[in-house]
Each structure stands twice: as structure tokens, then as C-alpha cells.
Amino acid sequence: MHYEQSVKNLILGDRDLRYYIKTGRIYIEPYDEEIVRENGVDLRLSNEIAKLKNSQIPVDTRAKDLDPSDYYEVLKGESFIIMPGERVLLNTMEFIRLPDDIMAFVNLRSTFARLGILAPPTIVDAGFEGNITIEVVGGSFPVKVHAGDRFAHLIFARLLTPVEKPYIGDYQGQRGVRLPKMFKSPRTPP
């Protein structure tokens, strides 16, 4: 195969995505045909978020089982307000599973970006499974978001070859909003 042919379909389009989802190569639950877009999949906001608190207590990145209440407020509800400059962990309602030859880029949907909300670059590694937790930062004015809002967009890329070591890290299988691994959490594996 020529190099040009091998790189032709690195980013998956809507037809590829529907086929990969239908055949189970990419798993998304709950799935709705409406989330498949031209070149990716929209993900919806779950009913759980975590707001980062302002704290003067240093986080030791090598610590185990820190008390999250010193640093985070985990909230459940049908809507949330993101205040200006506030840092929030948002979580997808969709649970996804990727094979060892597909990864994804997570982007904030442009509607939220146009409201001034920012999200740092986030990658979903080949072999990952779970809900996706991403950080966002509030813009210049408060924004009310609702569970079920399509807030993130996944762009899937097919790798030239399967990875040697699919993702098996600390966030594998996560359900609900997931705090950093040094914090004790009911979702932290034993």
C-alpha cells in the first residue's frame, strides 16, 4: 500500500463512525444516532460535576488518599452554573470504549467556546474505556449548563498500527466525574 493511501483515512468521518459503532469497534453507551457529526461524535453532559475550590493546602502529587473535600465540591443535579474564571470538571453521560488502533481528541463544542468557556487539550488514548472527565474554565460571565447538553466533541483518529500497550491507567473504567488519582474516591479502584 502506498503511503498516501495509508494516511488517507486517519480521521474518521460520519460513515466510518457509524460503521465502527455498529460493528462494536467503538462502543458508546448510551448511543443516539444524533450525536454522530460530520467528523466526530458529540458527547453530552452528565448530571455530575466537580468544582475546584480555592485552597492554600498544597497537593502532594505522590500522596495517596487525600481528602477531596479540601479541594473539590462534587455536585449532582440537572443544571449547573459555571462562574467567571471558575475551574470545573465536567463529565460525559456517554461511556466509551476504544480499540487499540483508535484514539480521540476531545474538543469543547464551539457554542461553549463562544460563551468564553475554555478547555485544555485532552486526549483519549487507544484502549481507554470509561466516562470522559474534562476540565473547563468559565469565561467573562456566568453560564448555566444542563445535563444532556452536547458540550464536547470527540474527533477519532485511526492509528497506522495498533498500539503495543493499550491504555490501562488509573482512569480506566471510570464512571462519573473522576478526581485526580491521588484523591480517595468511591470510583478509585482498590
Coarse DSSP helix, strand, coil percentages of the chain, rounded to the nearest 5 percent: 15, 40, 50
43 neighbors 94 (Cβ within 8 angstroms):
yes
Q: What is the DSSP letter of 9?
A: T
Q: Is 135 a catalytic residue?
A: yes
1, 26, 70, 141, 184 from 96: Cα distances, Å? 31, 7, 30, 32, 24
Which is the catalytic residue, given 33, 73, 135, 164?
A: 135
Residues acting as catalytic residues: 135
